[in-house]
Amino acid sequence: MRPSEEAKVLAGRAADFAQRVRDLRAALGKVVIGQDTLIFDLLVGVLAGGHVLLEGLPGLGKTRLAHALAAGLGAASCASDCVSMANPALLAA
């Protein structure tokens, strides 16, 4: 493959990836309304290969967002409320 052809293939793949990320971002925005910055930061963390800790008051949609992200990526999800980590007595139970 010539360099110009390879560049076109790579540009096409990059455009496809960017569109998929935009679609996922839009889908997550429909699940958790009004949290565009959180969704952006979450996607940056995941796409960078890092870990993301969602903190906030109950009822803000953290678990729903995590499940929606997992579904959008075709992955399994589970949730932890971290109460057991905050209270060592609960770890022993």
- pLDDT tens-digit readout, 45-87: 999 998 899 888 888 899 999 999 999 999 887 766 665 555 6
Listed residue (32, 53, 34) closest to 42, CA to CA: 53
Task: Give helix 3-31 / helix 36-47 axis angle, nearest 10°.
Answer: 140
CA distance 3 to 9: 10
pTM equals 0.76
Q: What letter does residue 34 receive in the DSSP assignment?
A: T
Query: What residue type is assigned to position 67 of the chain?
Result: H
